[in-house]
Structure 1
Amino acid sequence: MSKLAIKSLIILLSAACLSCSKPSEPVKAYQWPLSAGFPKPQVPQYNPMTVEKVRLGRALFYDNNLSFNQQQSCATCHQQQYAFGENIAQSVGSTGEQHRRNAPALVNIAYNKTLTWAHDGLTELERQILLPMFGESPVELGITGHEEKVLSRFTTAEYSQLFEQAFPGEAISFDLIVRALASFVRSLISLNSPFDQYAYAGDDNALSASALRGMNLFFSEKLECHHCHGGFNFTQSTSHEKQLLDRRPFHNTGLYFVEQSNGYPLKDIGLAEVSTLARDNGRFRAPTLRNIEKSAPYMHDGSIATLSEVLDFYSAGGRNISHGPYQGDGRNNPLKSPFMRGFTMTEQDKEDLLAFLASLTDQQFLTSQTFSEPKTKQLQ
């Protein structure tokens, strides 16, 4: 299936899904796990958060029955220990097909203004989730053509009870599955790192001296990091009840400048694939840096292995590939972000920056049983 066909599939499925959705009144009030002062995420009116939907979505997220051949679940590529990302460069679908992109970490996804690495039209989880479920190029869960068979697996007594609790009186459908999955993914909130204890809880001892120096470097105009990774969620792709502005968080960082194509590798040109605008060649979304220490490898294609190498890449102002199919000097990419100017960094600077980035790790998020695979589907 062509990329255009996939885009059309998403639009059609989205329209079908949302047109049959009925606004559900919360069965049990949902309490966001937020500290004082943090804004609530925005949630579509047709899919308000409830404890019951999150419970159902959690069971579905970890269930291999959601893939047509029962080989994978959502959690296959979004593993809690890796901040709901994956520790391989590019994901592999349920048929064994290798994808072209790295699985993005699902950290505070409820706050994201845009979803996926390079699609400015996917702004709601209810639409984005359709892609791994029904997309055919690449195949992920591979439900297309197997809809009835897959749906029949969720008519068990256990699931029937969960669906009835989450969506009283509604027949089990993919629409409800999508809404439940979106609710669980929105519940994946991470705001309890050492940085949060220092910046928001007033614990002056939460950060080491090295991490504090790294924080000052991070927010300095010398490094420019905060321009693309700013705000409490450390990404421009942020929206919540107090911020509705779309900051268009897509950037060309000079990762590539392939001599043959005079741009990014043709297999993935980023936002330009959707917008069809030449200026968007090589633009990808700046991800959150929360739990970034745990979500290696890095960049949209997983082509940089460690955070230390990432810092070297930004310090150089891009990447020069001296040989191979992607040969070219990304530092000279004319579409590169103006913030990718490069900077001088000592070994102590690097050590301090790494310490600061490590301070964004929320151990509770990575280990909480609230987010982990349920032992049984009948969760309390």
Structure 2
Amino acid sequence: MYLLSRYGATCATIFAASLLVAACGAGGSGGGGPSATHNHGTATTPALNGFPAPVVSASNSSTEEKIALGRHLFYEPRLSGNGTQSCATCHHQDKAFTDGRALAIGSTGETHPRNAQGLANVVYHATLTWANPALTELERQMEVPMFGENPVEMGINDKNRAEVLNRFKQDATYANLFKAAFPKDSDPVSYANIIAAISTFERTLISSDSKYDQFLRKEASLNESELRGMNLFMGEKAECFHCHGSFNFNDQTRFQGLAQVDTPFHNTGLYNIDGKGGFPFPNRGLFEFTSRPADMGAFRAPSLRNVAVTGPYMHDGSIMSLKEVLDFYAAGGRQITSGIYAGDGRTNPYKSDLITRISLTEQEKIDLINFLGTLTDEKFLKNPKFSNPH
């Protein structure tokens, strides 16, 4: 791929290489499960800060009025069945729209089996959850937190559906926001329009102005440790780029001009609870959808943009710090010596062949962490356009 010399790579070289990896799918399935292929249309959205132009929904065009309504609804606890929880409850702007918890908690207090994912650059994601290859559009994905019953998130159900809508129909401010966003609808306050508006707002959550982005644009410099970390990240020694080498620092991207998008899922050796590759139920990754043994423990590689503020890490939030994440990958997986999850993930038979032991010094780990810190976009974390309007 693109092994970099210690300081010799130019900004253009690095960025071109990132786009190349994105276009090629960053290594396919890598032994971590099959790559589903999806076809996507194109749109006329312009490129953003050097990013490729994103694909947008052909059936849900973006307007300023729809974005404004979606932003209000995103932060609105009255959108939950019991009126206590909003989308923003699990997606905090200052944490790149994660929640800082190992596991998310729903509106009824139910602890979820998985870690809340970030929404930065969600418009570029090819799939939208940890391990469901079918959820590729925000409008479909949003039905899960709103109406899902296992686990309960927003908690909207047959008993309270009408009540929740009436909260907005009876609010003059919301009545005007809905009318402005959907002027052709005689009765614009509907779940379809709620989903369309929030999806439109979420597509505006673009993070593209980190120190690393400024470095690519020759607007900032990286210090020596950050440069060493970048070269490790992009090179064959640490091998991070195999799953995180695109402009969005993941390996499931879609954007205008791609007719097909690869969606690999990876088993990283996090568990091996039965000595046969088992992962704890219900967190068994792609296996939950395919029932294929080879898909056991295969999850989507998340974007590493703003990763310094999105811990805890992994699909179940079971690794607390970036230092521990690097230790985990350097060991080629995780060995748990006691308890119900005891097992040696390093020997998981379904582990991706991209996950092998890596010899990293403590200084190299520090350098990698310092480079990952350059992916934090402070403007994104504080952008008033994304903040609570209430």
TM-score range, shorter chain: 0.7 to 0.9
Would the alpha carbon gap of residues 33 and 56 (structure 1) be closer, same or farther in structure 2, given more than 3 Å must change? farther
Tell me which residue corresponds to 1:202. Answer: 218
Tell me which residue corresponds to 1:191. Answer: 208
Would the alpha carbon gap of residues 372 and 247 (structure 1) be closer, same or farther in structure 2, given more than 3 Å must change? same
Q: Partners of 1:84 and 1:290 in 2: how far apart?
A: 11
Higher-RCO chain (CA-CA 8 Å, sequence separation at least 6): 2
Tell me which residue corresponds to 1:111. Answer: 124
How do 1:43-82 residues align onto structure 2 when only pairs under 5 Å count?
43-82=56-95
Letter in 1 for 2:321: T
How do 1:7-156 residues align onto structure 2 when only pairs under 5 Å count?
34-35=48-49, 37-145=50-158, 146-155=160-169, 156=171
Q: Name whichever of 147-156 and 295-304 sits farther off.
A: 147-156
Q: CA deviation at 1:49?
A: 1.4
Secondary structure of 1:312's partner?
helix
Q: Partners of 1:210 and 1:41 in 2: how far apart?
A: 33
Residue of structure 2 aligned with 1:178, choices 167, 175, 195: 195
Would the alpha carbon gap of residues 97 and 372 (structure 1) be closer, same or farther in structure 2, given more than 3 Å must change? same
Q: Partners of 1:354 and 1:178 in 2: how far apart?
A: 37
**Contact persistence 1:33–1:189 (CA under 8 A):** no
Tell me which residue corresponds to 2:247. Answer: 232
**Contact persistence 2:277–2:296 (CA under 8 A):** no
Secondary structure of 2:386's partner?
coil
- Provide the aligned length of Structure 1 versus Structure 2: 343
Q: Partners of 1:251 and 1:260 in 2: how far apart?
A: 18
Q: Name whichever of 269-278 and 99-108 sits farther off.
A: 269-278
Structure 2 unpaired stretches of 5+: 1-43
Secondary structure of 1:250's partner?
coil
Secondary structure of 1:338's partner?
coil
Residue of structure 1 aligned with 2:263, choices 231, 248, 262: 248
Q: Partners of 1:190 and 1:32 in 2: how far apart?
A: 15
Give the TM-score taking structure 1 as reference length.
Answer: 0.88
Structure 1 unpaired stretches of 5+: 1-29, 376-380
Q: Write out per-residue CA displacement over residues 40-86 of structure 1, whole angstroms, 9 at most, x where no aligned residue.
A: 21111100111111110000000000001011000000001111001
Secondary structure of 1:246's partner?
strand
Q: CA deviation at 1:245?
A: 2.9
Q: Partners of 1:56 and 1:342 in 2: how far apart?
A: 49
**Contact persistence 1:213–1:353 (CA under 8 A):** yes
Give the TM-score taking structure 2 as reference length.
Answer: 0.86
State, as a whole percentage, how many aligned pairs show the same letter: 51
Letter in 1 for 2:90: C
Cα RMSD for the two superposed structures: 1.4
Q: CA deviation at 1:266?
A: 2.3
Q: Partners of 1:367 and 1:249 in 2: how far apart?
A: 32
Secondary structure of 1:284's partner?
coil
Q: Partners of 2:365 and 2:283 in 1: how far apart?
A: 30
